């Protein structure tokens, strides 16, 4: 095996996001449901015998930084395993940055899963997660490969498939031109940090109407475009909600929507949710 092509790295949506407290070290305690959607980056990975990690941008969007999460993930896997092989990684970037959709973390997870196979390392999911969590809090979720109830600082991941699988549905996702920095939101003095604890069973009674994103009030003050996109969704009869700590918003789409009047600077995409990550099962469990 010398190459793996057309590797998907799907985005996620936070169906709700509550902050239930804050640890002494400053990390926030959260509850959320992470749901995979079919808005994907695509990676192509070729084996290199010289041990070097190189990356090529294949898309038309802004160039990625030289030391992005893809390169860091590959080097972290080399360091953890002592692997002497290298890789050339091409990435077609489609998931917008600073959107709250986990694009960088998903790219890192796909890189780890693919190189684990390409380099014949035979690491299991838990071993890959131990590497991934040092790259970003969302990377373990994408490595687990299933929609999940997420708690703690993002480190307690409970797959929903067995008892609380999410119904198939379609969503309209809107990313305004402006982005949002995660640290700015979480350090804001007006952020609500005392949400009541929720339960999976209460969420399962209303999958797509449950809860709120408590970051949204602060985010709208920092980025007025978020409010504009939510108002635009409301004009279409849709209830918008922010995902994660970025500027993208989404709404369940029970009926067809004409979005030809959307601002030309917005990225607007109709997405279906995914039951599993396309590379689920690639770890050697």
List Cα–Cα distances, 158 to 26, 33, 59, 79, 162, in angstroms.
24, 9, 34, 29, 10
pLDDT digits (tens, 9 = 90+) for 219-233: 999 999 999 999 999
Catalytic member of 93, 138, 175, 241: 138
Mean pLDDT of 135-156: 93
Q: pLDDT band at 260, cuts 50/70/90?
A: very high
Q: In CATH, what number is assigned to the domain containing residue 107?
A: 3.30.230.10
Q: What is the mean pLDDT of the chain?
A: 94
Q: Inform me whether the pLDDT recorded for 62 exceeds 90.
A: no
The number of distinct structural domains making up the chain is 1
Region at 244 (left for phi over 0; alpha for psi -120 to 50; beta for the rest): left
pLDDT in tens, 6-32: 999 999 999 999 999 988 888 889 999
Task: Give the domain extent around 169.
Answer: 1-285
Span of 97-111, 189-203, 256-270 with lowest mean pLDDT: 189-203
**pLDDT score for 11:** 98
- Residue 175 annotated as catalytic: no
What is the phi-psi region of residue 145: left when phi exceeds 0, alpha when psi lies from -120 to 50, beta otherwise? left
Q: Which of 12, 93, 175, 269 is catalytic?
A: 12
269 among known catalytic residues: no
**Strands lying side by side in the sheet with 241-242:** 241-242, 249-252, 170-175, 267-272
């Amino acid at each position: 095996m010398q190459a793996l092509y057309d590797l998907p790295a799907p985005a996620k949506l936070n169906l709700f996001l509550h902050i239930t407290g804050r640890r002494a070290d400053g990390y926030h305690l959260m509850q959320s449901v992470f749901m995979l959607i079919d808005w994907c980056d695509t990676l192509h990975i070729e084996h290199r015998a010289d041990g070097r990690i190189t990356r090529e941008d294949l898309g038309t969007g802004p160039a990625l930084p030289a030391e992005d999460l893809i390169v860091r993930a590959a080097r972290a896997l080399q360091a953890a395993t002592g692997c002497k092989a290298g890789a050339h990684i091409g990435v077609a970037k489609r998931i917008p940055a600073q959107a709250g959709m986990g694009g960088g973390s998903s790219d890192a997870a796909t890189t780890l899963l693919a190189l684990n196979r390409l380099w014949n390392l035979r690491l299991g999911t838990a071993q890959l997660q131990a590497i991934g969590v040092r790259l970003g809090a969302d990377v373990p979720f994408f490595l687990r490969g299933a929609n999940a109830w997420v708690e703690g600082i993002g480190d307690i991941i409970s797959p929903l498939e067995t008892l609380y699988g999410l119904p198939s549905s379609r969503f309209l996702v809107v990313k305004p031109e402006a982005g949002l920095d995660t640290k700015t939101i979480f350090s804001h003095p007006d952020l609500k940090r005392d949400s009541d604890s929720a339960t999976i069973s209460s969420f399962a009674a209303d999958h797509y109407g449950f809860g709120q994103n408590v970051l949204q009030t602060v985010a709208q003050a920092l980025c007025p475009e978020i409010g504009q996109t939510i108002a635009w969704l409301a004009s279409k009869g849709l209830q918008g909600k922010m995902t994660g700590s970025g500027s993208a918003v989404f709404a369940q789409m029970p009926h067809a929507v004409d979005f030809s009047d959307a601002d030309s600077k917005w990225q607007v995409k109709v997405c279906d949710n995914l039951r599993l990550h396309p590379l689920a099962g690639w770890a050697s469990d």
